[in-house]
Amino acid sequence: MAGHAPFRQSATGAHFPFQGIIMKEKAFKRSVGPMYGSLMVCALAAAGPAFAEDASTQASPDNATSLGTVTVSASLNQTLAEDMPLHTTVITQDDIKNSTSQTLDQLLRTVPGFNFTGVPAAISDPTGQQTKMRGLGNAKVLVLLDGIPIIDPFYLTTQFHKVALADVDHIEVIRGGTSSLWGNMAVAGMVNIVTKRPSDNTGVVTVGAGNHGTASLSWSQNFKVSDALALNLAVNQYRTDGYITTPSPYRWKFPRQRANSARDTNIELSAYFRLTHSLNGFLRLGNHEQDQHIGYSYGRNLQKNPDGALGLDQRFDKDSSLSLRAWAQNVHFTKYNGATCYYQLAGGCLNSNAKDQVVSNDVVEYYSQYGDLHYRERGSSLTYSRFFNAFFNSLQVGIDYRHLSAKDSESFFATPGSPEIPQVLNATGYGRGEQTFGGAFVQAKVSPLDVLQLTFSGRYDSWRNTDQVHTLTKASTGVVSGGTLPSSSKSAFNPGLGLHYDATDTWSFRGATYKAFRAPGFNNTTRSYGVGPTPWPIRTWDRKP
């Protein structure tokens, strides 16, 4: 699925970047450690300094060669990458330009520590697009876009389709738990994607191509209205015909299996404004669509996802600031699971593991499940940051809130018994629920010695699952089971301690200890697994001559 290096056109001319190096990890001597951060609730808080920073302080082709000039906004206090108490990698603008990767997950595969499946995100089911790190299981890595989570609120998967590499300035990868700052989702680590900031009226067009019908096209246009207002319009699409993910020796088990294909489309309008000399902010509105055809005639995933974010940064003096963040997203996800089987005159529809039992090439294609999911997220955060002196370096305190709601309706179909009556509805189901996250956190950095920095952090999390309903109706009898479920809640305090020690000019040591909090998602608590007839007539079988 890897494509050719993209062609970029800007006001300064065009160039074809070298296609070799995917990612460079600079300043290796300072690159070991662990710590933790929180989920969507607290996610925007850390973005505060990032939005307040002038573009000149961020990574660029001119300064990316020296990692010490790159600050990590996900640390909450703009820590230099080489001084992070956790193992941190910064993928710079040069690294992205020199990469042949066309999607975010392809690029992250080049970073040590990630555990991705072998199938690219674009052609894998969205319900399985987990970001894993250091061998830990699903949904334990927090992925942020400018400090704003891009985590599916229902399945807790990463929304890779929302990010076009053409719009990315640099990427911060922190290995190790950061729950003591970021909360629920950052058990194994976190990724913060920092986008480009407009400073002029230039535009960039990026074109990419690869095998399996893969192509990408991105257009990003800046509009500098005044010194106090700049706009950016970004439009991009990535599409691929995909490939069959089942190894050839086993494809006989899945008759008429097709390649997984996908088309991801994004439109975003961003405004960056300065209200006073010390107060600035941003407003971002976007619409995202992921359309996948998965394996069979009746396999399809379609997500439509409008979202928005607002940020305000108030600087009181050179040492203190206050950051406010608010964000929202709605997701409408229609999911069609398809399947096939061999039809045997004597045995009906056969799903067999024994190749010699297949005595007929007649194939039945049918829906196995149809789901209609609606869910939404609303969140906000407030963070205060202050720098002090050489001994007591800095202090950050903050609060955050996040509310999720979801409804899930599904149809669950039986394997057809014959081609004449191919589609049999087993059951219909309905589920809904709401989740509320709240948190308060504090982080302090102290340097008792010039060569030693200690980071103390702690976070109190509160989670509540309410308004839960789960019903299942058997189609054959009309009997309804289930109903209202009891509410549940959990609270936890997560401390963290990080250490960075410069033993010599060439040797540095880092380490951290921390505690993490992990709450279940709607897929674990609300999904009905079983609703309603398919919305249009379907042809469910076909005989080979």
| Residue in this structure with the two tokens 């003096």, named with its chain if needed | 317
* Count of Cβ atoms closer than 10 Å to residue 178 Cβ: 36
Round to whole Å and give the CA distance between 411 and 408.
10
SS3 167: helix
DSSP state of 538: -
User: Which pLDDT value is given to residue 423?
Assistant: 75
User: Which pLDDT value is given to residue 335?
Assistant: 92
Structure tokens at 251: 């494809």
**Residues paired with 317 in a beta bridge:** 320
Instruction: With CA atoms as reference, report the closest residue to 281 among 48, 56, 46, 40.
Output: 48
* Residue type for position 159: Q
User: Which pLDDT value is given to residue 135?
Assistant: 66
User: Which pLDDT value is given to residue 76?
Assistant: 60
* Model pLDDT for residues 312-338, shown as the tens digit of each residue: 999 999 899 999 999 999 999 999 988
pLDDT grade for 32, boundaries at 50, 70 and 90:
very low
SS3 40: helix
> Percent of the chain, pLDDT > 90?
34
pLDDT grade for 22, boundaries at 50, 70 and 90:
very low
Structure tokens at 437: 């996250």
CB-based contacts of 59, cutoff 8 Å, min separation 6: 69, 70, 90, 92, 93, 169, 170, 194
CB-based contacts of 409, cutoff 8 Å, min separation 6: 371, 372, 373, 428, 429, 430, 431, 528, 531, 532
Considering only residues 176 and 445, tell me which one the structure prediction assigns the higher pLDDT.
445
Round to whole Å and give the CA distance between 243 and 119.
10
pLDDT grade for 522, boundaries at 50, 70 and 90:
confident
* Residue type for position 2: A
* Model pLDDT for residues 46-83, shown as the tens digit of each residue: 333 333 333 333 333 333 333 445 666 655 656 666 66
* Model pLDDT for residues 124-170, shown as the tens digit of each residue: 887 777 777 776 666 578 888 888 888 888 888 889 889 888 888 89
Rg (C-alpha) for the chain, rounded Å, is 25
> Domains (ranges, CATH) in the chain?
7-195 (2.170.130.10)
pTM metric for this prediction: 0.79
CA distances 415 to 90, 286, 351, 410, 453, Å, are 50, 40, 9, 16, 62
Round to whole Å and give the CA distance between 264 and 161.
6
CB-based contacts of 93, cutoff 8 Å, min separation 6: 59, 60, 61, 64, 169, 170
User: Which pLDDT value is given to residue 100?
Assistant: 83
CA 436-433-479 angle, 5° bins = 165
Specify the long-range contacts of residues 294-297, CB closer than 8 Å, at least 24 apart: 294/125, 294/260, 294/337, 294/338, 295/254, 295/257, 295/258, 295/260, 295/338, 296/256, 296/257, 296/258, 296/338, 296/339, 296/340, 296/365, 297/256, 297/258, 297/338, 297/365
CA 96-98-99 angle, 5° bins = 65
Considering only residues 254 and 517, tell me which one the structure prediction assigns the higher pLDDT.
254
Round to whole Å and give the CA distance between 143 and 172.
10
Span 452-463, mean pLDDT? Answer: 92
* Model pLDDT for residues 345-384, shown as the tens digit of each residue: 766 777 666 677 776 678 888 888 899 999 999 999 999 9
Q: Are strands 363-387 and 392-414 parallel, antiparallel or unpaired?
A: antiparallel
User: Which pLDDT value is given to residue 225?
Assistant: 95
Query: Is the model's pLDDT at 201 over the cut of 90?
Result: yes
User: Which pLDDT value is given to residue 63?
Assistant: 35
Round to whole Å and give the CA distance between 502 and 41.
34
* Segment among 242-246, 301-305, 319-323, 381-385 with least mean pLDDT: 242-246
CB-based contacts of 170, cutoff 8 Å, min separation 6: 58, 59, 64, 70, 90, 91, 92, 93, 96, 194
| Residue in this structure with the two tokens 């997701």, named with its chain if needed | 331
Structure tokens at 507: 């040797």
pLDDT grade for 34, boundaries at 50, 70 and 90:
very low
Task: Please say whether the beta carbons of 340 and 347 come within 8 A.
Answer: no
Query: Is the model's pLDDT at 254 over the cut of 70?
Result: yes
User: Which pLDDT value is given to residue 543?
Assistant: 31
User: Which pLDDT value is given to residue 478?
Assistant: 92
User: Which pLDDT value is given to residue 94?
Assistant: 87
User: Which pLDDT value is given to residue 84?
Assistant: 67
Query: Is the model's pLDDT at 424 over the cut of 60?
Result: yes
Dihedral sign, CA of 153, 156, 161, 166?
Answer: positive
Query: Is the model's pLDDT at 526 over the cut of 80?
Result: no
Task: Please say whether the beta carbons of 447 and 401 come within 8 A.
Answer: no
* Model pLDDT for residues 396-413, shown as the tens digit of each residue: 999 999 999 999 998 998
Exposed/middle/buried for residue 504 (C-beta within 10 Å: 0-12, 13-18, 19+)? exposed
User: Which pLDDT value is given to residue 11?
Assistant: 30
SS3 402: strand
- Best-predicted range by mean pLDDT among 49-53, 58-62, 248-252, 485-489? 485-489
Query: Is the model's pLDDT at 501 over the cut of 60?
Result: yes
